[in-house]
Amino acid sequence: MTKREPKGESGAEARRQALKSGGAAVVTHRKPRAPRSDGPRTTLRVPDSLVISAERLAGELGISRNDALLRLATRGADLYETERLIEKRREERWKAVVPGEIEPGVSFPEAEEIAEAVRPGL
């Protein structure tokens, strides 16, 4: 026979009373929560493929799906910023090699001209 909760008591209050009276404790296993952070809140519709990845990551790390989504978003943002930096550096290097506009009718130098230009002066 199982104990019934007295009328008017919440589930949490009933568990506390059971613990006080020597009854079995009801243990709930909650995943650790991410630390609170400042910033705007948002509601998103998440594509199924991303939910699958987030749930897999959440299971591996023992965190909530929302925490896993934040980790994936942060990783994606880091990748995006790295790509922007690489693009900026590529543009700077290209401008150092070719400082002006290349006109459509201009052709590349012949192989002999290139060899002569890079040959060390004697």
pLDDT tens digits, one per residue of 29-53: 666 666 677 888 888 899 999 999 9
- Count of alpha carbons within 13 Å of 34, Cβ hemisphere only? 14
pLDDT tens digits, one per residue of 59-108: 999 999 999 999 999 999 999 999 999 999 998 888 887 777 777 777 88
What lies within 8 Å, CB to CB, of 51 at 6+ separation is: 65
What lies within 8 Å, CB to CB, of 15 at 6+ separation is: 25, 26
Residue type, 115: A
Domain boundaries, the chain: 44-97
- The helices-and-strands tally (H runs, E runs) of the chain is 4, 0
Q: What is the pTM of this model?
A: 0.52
Tokens of 92: 């700077």
